[in-house]
Amino acid sequence: MQKSNKSIAGYHLLMILSSVDGEFAPAEGMKIQEYLAEEFPFRVNLDNELDVIATLKPEEWKDHFEFHARCFMEDSEENERAKFLDFAKSLIKADDDVSDDEHRFYRLLKNMWTNQ
C-alpha cells in the first residue's frame, strides 16, 4: 500500500471509524464533511480513496486502519494528533451510540499515537 499524506490518512481513519459498527449514520457523514472542509479547502476528488475503503472486507479494516494511523503519525505533530483524536471521538459519538467496535478502533488509534 502506498503511503498517504496526513489529510488522506485522516479521511481513511474517519471513514473506517464511522463504518465499523455496520451503519454509516447521517450525523457521522456530516462530521466527515466538516473534516473535509477543514483539510481540503479546495475541491479534491476522493473517489479513488472511497473505492479503496468500500472494497475492504471487515477483516481487513484493522490492518488498513493501522497503516493509515502510521501514515498520519509520520506527517503530524503531537498537537495535530491530539486534535484529530478529539475529532474522532466526536465522530463516534455523533449518532449518540458508541458501539464496542467504534470504541475498540478509537482506543487502538489512541494507543498507537500515545505509546510511540
Residue 88 maps to which CATH number?
A: 1.10.3680
82 pLDDT above the threshold of 70: yes
How far is it, in rounded angstroms, from Cα 43 to Cα 26? 22
Query: Per-residue confidence at 104, pLDDT binned at 50, 70, 90?
Result: very high
Distances (CA, A) of 108 to 1, 28, 33, 102: 20, 19, 23, 10
Q: Is residue 91 part of a domain?
A: yes
Query: Per-residue confidence at 116, pLDDT binned at 50, 70, 90?
Result: low
Sole residue written with cell 464496542:
100
Number of domains composing the chain: 1
Structural domain of 77: 6-114
Q: Is residue 46 part of a domain?
A: yes
Q: Is residue 1 part of a domain?
A: no
Question: Which amino acid is present at 32?
Answer: I
Q: Is residue 85 part of a domain?
A: yes
